[in-house]
Amino acid sequence: MKRIGYYNGEMGPVEEIRIPMQDRAMFFGDGAYDFAFAYNKVMYRIEDHLDRFFNSLKLLEIDPPCTREELKQHLQDCVNAAESDEGLSVYWQTSRGNCARNHIFPPKGTPSTLLITISPLKKLNYQVPLKLITMEDTRFLHCNIKTLNLIPNVIAAQRAEEAGCQETILHRGDQLTECAHSALVIIKDKKVIGPVLDNLILPSITRKHVWEICEDLGIETESRNVSMDEVFDADEILVLSTSKLMTRADEIDGKPAGMKDSETAEKIRNEYFRRVQEETGYWMG
């Protein structure tokens, strides 16, 4: 496949795309992003990702770089240019614009930017459980916005790497929020439970899909505050993200956890795989 880059109308090999030094993403992380995957050149549930992206721009008071349909077409053009039917990572971001460095917003009329990258989607063995660590969540109070400001997430991901683990569970005091770059929900007594989606948690697209699947399968769900004690005591711990989809965890902070209700977990995951296959023609299992 070809790794594709796009910036403000210019598309080509990602190594050849150049970004102006005064893009506000460089100075302030002043922007929003989103991420989807594609198989057979079909982006899975792209409308859900566009909903979240445009909502993030609205909350940041950033004018979109183009219309929703134009953005969708730019993304599809880049996916097509990758010339691959294998799994693709589809990433895009918008900053507030290119202008001289200044903390206040640029002058009205300064166009926002659009950056897109297309790269291979990492293949995962969904039968191999993840190992997790925990960290206090020290991020700011607007985690519901998918901004470019990700330093706490980067540090948390690095701590997991150093511990030989794949993700970090973030918590505020005793309350679960999410992971460094994933959502986290639990299964207890056949019920799927996740934290309330407030300003401290990014509205996960994968979690949205899992809730829809559970409703269709007759599996009860609940959104409420979840304590870390409940996480450690859960029958299953599910890490949810666009790249990981839905993966079980079997260890937290070096201690065994979850892995007590494979029937419910695999029922949900297999239905998720089926829906991806129905839309893209690819079986992820």
pLDDT digits (tens, 9 = 90+) for 139-156: 999 999 999 999 999 999
pLDDT at 123: 87
To the nearest 10°, the Cα dihedral for 127, 281, 52, 12? 100
Q: Is the distance from CB of 137 to CB of 171 less than 8 angstroms?
A: yes
**DSSP character for 248?**
E
Residue 82 has pLDDT above 90, yes or no: yes
pLDDT at 219 over 90: yes
> pLDDT digit string (tens) for 114-131?
999 999 999 889 999 999
Stretch 96-106: mean pLDDT:
96
Tell me the C-alpha to C-alpha distance, in Å, between residue 109 and each of 8, 105, 115, 253: 16, 11, 19, 50
Per-residue pLDDT, averaged over 160-165, amounts to 98
- Determine the pLDDT at residue 285: 78
| CA dist., res. 66 & res. 113, Å (int) | 9
Q: Is residue 234 scored above 90 in pLDDT? A: yes
pLDDT of res. 30 = 97
**Portion of the chain with pLDDT greater than 90, in percent:** 96
Confidence of residue 27 (pLDDT cuts 50, 70, 90): very high
The pTM score is 0.96
Where does 4-120 sit in CATH, by number? 3.30.470.10
Under 8 Å between Cβ of 206 and 240: yes
Mean pLDDT of the chain: 97
**Using one digit for the tens of pLDDT, what is the confidence trace for 253-279?**
999 999 999 999 999 999 999 999 999
Phi, psi at residue 112, to the nearest 5°? Answer: -75, 170
Helix (H) / strand (E) containing 269: helix 262-280
**Residue matched to tokens 């290119």:** 98
130-280 is classed CATH 3.20.10.10: yes
Q: Rounded CA gap, 158 and 154, in Å?
A: 6
Domain boundaries, the chain: 4-120, 130-280
